[in-house]
Amino acid sequence: MSSKDLNEILNKTNTEIGFNSSKSSSKNHLLIFGITNPDINESNFNCDAYIYNDKVKKKSKNCIGKIINSKDTIKSIDQFDFVLINDPKNVNFNMFSYEKGIGLRIDSKINDERKDTIENFEFDFLIYDLKIDSLTNFEDMLTIKDMINSIRSNWVLNIKTPKLEEIDFQYIFDIGFTGIMVNLTEIDNKKFKETKSKLNNLEVRKSGKF
């Protein structure tokens, strides 16, 4: 049965918030956040949560989020289970008044001062959307770890290619991500099921996470 509670969904993984360091847990799971629109049937894509942009589906049994735009108010986002901030410039109301889950997309390098500020806001999840040349290159892995270890949160990796193999998802899991974000408008049901099956074969390493 699906849950509409974002915290309950985030707690399904084996992570302690931010660092994915719960090494004693036997769970091995990457959450799936699906970017979607009203034309897409949610039942065709078994995601843990769905994120709408401007056009939204008001009624759903699933956990539904919305990408904030500049016209949004506390009242306009109240119907959703969580929100995602793609661009802080689009937030024109007091976010402290919003009592549900909040995520922030990070698509550029940020300095240490901004990292501290973001951590102090205690976002429920952060989207890692920086360019990655190779998921299996150790230097790239160190760069990713520098970021996700510097801000305590549940990190979700934006997947921009449907061609990832099981070894790639294992690496994403080993690095310490809580989940992945997939654009459902750019992937068909068959490819999604293939991706889902690859996530079911993840292994918890004996030595724990990095």
Terminal-to-terminal C-alpha distance of the chain? 32
Confidence tier at 163 by pLDDT (50, 70, 90) = confident
What the chain holds in terms of domains, given with CATH numbers, is 6-199 (3.20.20.70)
Are 153 and 123 a contacting pair, CB within 8 Å?
A: yes
Task: Evaluate if residue 55 carries a pLDDT over 90.
Answer: no
Average per-residue pLDDT for the chain:
85
Task: Evaluate if residue 120 carries a pLDDT over 50.
Answer: yes
> Residue 192 half-sphere exposure, CB side, CA atoms within 13 Å?
19
Please report which residue ranges of 60-165 form alpha helices under DSSP H.
112-121, 138-150
What pTM was estimated for this model as a whole? 0.87
